[in-house]
Amino acid sequence: MVNDNDVPATQPAGKRRRVIHATCALHRGPVGFTNLVVSKRGGQIELDPHAAGACKITIDENGARVLRDALTEWLG
């Protein structure tokens, strides 16, 4: 399980960590069954597919802004 012990407590945990129900196309699991944990750790955004800590993707602040802008464009 993912925890926030290594994150400074400057914000409540709910402000620095979200769990998004998603679908894993590779493992072809049930729709919405995969948990994607998204956390803010310092100046980086961390994506943890499957909430297992086995593979983590980190994005710096500039990359996170690009992702935010793309999602805003796609979703309106």
Q: What is the pLDDT of residues 50-70, one digit of tens each?
A: 888 888 999 999 999 999 999
Q: Is residue 19 within a helix (H) or strand (E), and if so which, with residue range?
A: strand 17-22
Q: Going by C-beta distance under 8 Å and a sequence separation of 6 or more, which residues neighbour residue 14?
A: none
Query: Across residues 23-42, what is the average pLDDT?
Result: 83
User: Which tokens is 6 given?
Assistant: 């290594």
Q: What is residue 5's predicted lDDT score, i.e. its pLDDT?
A: 42
Alpha-carbon gap, residue 70 to 76, rounded angstroms: 10
pLDDT band at 13 (very low <50, low <70, confident <90, very high): low
Q: Say whether pTM exceeds 0.85.
A: no
User: Which tokens is 75 given?
Assistant: 């979703």
Q: Is residue 32 within a helix (H) or strand (E), and if so which, with residue range?
A: none
